[in-house]
Amino acid sequence: MATRNSPLDFLGSVVCNDPAELSDDAIAQLAAHTQKAFDVKSSFEPVKIGVIGLGRFGRLHSLTVAGLAEANLVGLVAKREESLRAIAVELPHVPGWTNLDQAIEESGAEAWVVACTTASHVEVTKKLLAAGKTVLLEKPVSENLDEARSLAPLVRANSSNLMLGHIVLFNSEFQQLRDEVRCRGLISFIDCVRHRPATIVKQFPGENPLYATMVHDLYAAQVLVDREEPTSFSAQYHRTKSGEIDLALAQLKWPSGIIASFAASYLTPNGMPPRGFDRMEVFGDGWCSRISPNPRPIEVWDAKASWPMALEIRAGSSGATGMMAEELRHFCKVVRGELAVPVGATFADAIQVQEWMEKLTSIAQ
């Protein structure tokens, strides 16, 4: 059975506010837990990982894996030779394939990151799971719920061979928000907004912001309510003059009384950050909290303002840091049986959120 070895996980369970409030017993337990984690880390065997798909996120996964001490990047798979040649400039010593079967057989990878097109997710993941590999699959599992469910026979009951890509879980602000919720008690209201540039409507016609961006906040809410199933769903679309969806609104209510509101749009003008902005607010009894993870808090000015770091992701010659690095480190420990797949990233979690999205889509107008 997978165990938790992070001293930060343990610290979150024993302290809510001021670390000075820790008892001597709690400090002793934390020290013992930290030593145990250090002992495990010092003997950790790097996981041999391959990456499938070399688009924007596939490239980021590849560079991040290459910068982790916990992993060895042993293979890259793309549909086109041009994609492999392009990534070879940054990762010249990593072999590449255009044939997945060959890559599985020849690369020696024991685990794979699937970051190819959504339409190929299920087919590729089935092949990997059937070959006995552990998979980190970028969400959504599929655009079709029945196709997503078809993976079930290959997924272990605890999802230890399939982890969903959910970098928001590993964002430092969201992790602190989870700690605040644990310490402060029952939530009353969750308010989430994700606004993206209005130009997306023309650049990617037919792309629904409910599926492209709101989905991340639905997963985050799922974590905050600990997988509770909502009892009420409502949703609404705003459309452009040409009929394209540029705004999706949704509201969910849970048996515990929590209400959540979600807004996702393609409405921000050119003068705003190039990836728009994200905000999440959580309200409880006598308290509230806000995180603004996009853009990151660095701004640069010359002839105009710029926001060089939209997401908490860095991968380069100095190593890998940020939420993708932490997600992949966690994945490596899942492969080694040292950690469980976290809430919000199991196969069952993915199916639950996809069911929510289908309900919202069916009632939105």
Q: Is 275 strand, coil or helix?
A: coil
Reference 335, options 78, 130, 113; nearest CA is 113
Tell me: pLDDT of 11 over 50: no
Between these two residues, 300 and 33, which has the higher pLDDT value? 300
Between these two residues, 29 and 254, which has the higher pLDDT value? 254
How many angstroms separate the CA atoms of 351 and 365, rounded? Answer: 23
> What is Dmax (Cα atoms) for the chain?
65
When pLDDT is averaged across residues 322-327 and rounded to a whole number, the result is 92
Structure-derived torsion over alpha carbons of residues 39, 43, 49, 55, reported in degrees to the nearest 10:
40
On whether the CB atoms of residues 247 and 265 are closer than 8 A, the answer is yes
Between these two residues, 312 and 353, which has the higher pLDDT value? 353
pLDDT for the residue numbered 310: 77
CATH architecture of 172-311: 2-Layer Sandwich (3.30)
When pLDDT is averaged across residues 256-272 and rounded to a whole number, the result is 96
For the chain, domain boundaries: 7-42, 172-311
Give me the long-range contacts of 30-36 (CB less than 8 A, separation at least 24): 33/5, 33/7, 34/7, 36/5
Those residues whose C-beta lies under 8 Å from the C-beta of residue 11, and which sit 6 or more positions away, are 30
Burial degree of 294 (CB within 10 A; 0-12, 13-18, 19+): buried
Q: How big is the chain, counted in residues? A: 365
pLDDT for the residue numbered 23: 62
Reference 218, options 356, 358, 348; nearest CA is 356
Confidence of residue 299 (pLDDT cuts 50, 70, 90): confident
pLDDT for the residue numbered 165: 93
What is the tens place of the pLDDT at every residue in 63-116? 999 999 999 999 999 999 999 999 999 999 999 999 999 999 999 999 999 999
pLDDT for the residue numbered 7: 45
How many angstroms separate the CA atoms of 335 and 130, rounded? Answer: 16
pLDDT for the residue numbered 24: 64
- Could you identify the residue written with the tokens 């078809």? 150
pLDDT for the residue numbered 305: 85
Tell me: pLDDT of 28 over 80: no
What is the tens place of the pLDDT at every residue in 185-217? 889 999 999 999 999 999 999 999 999 899 999
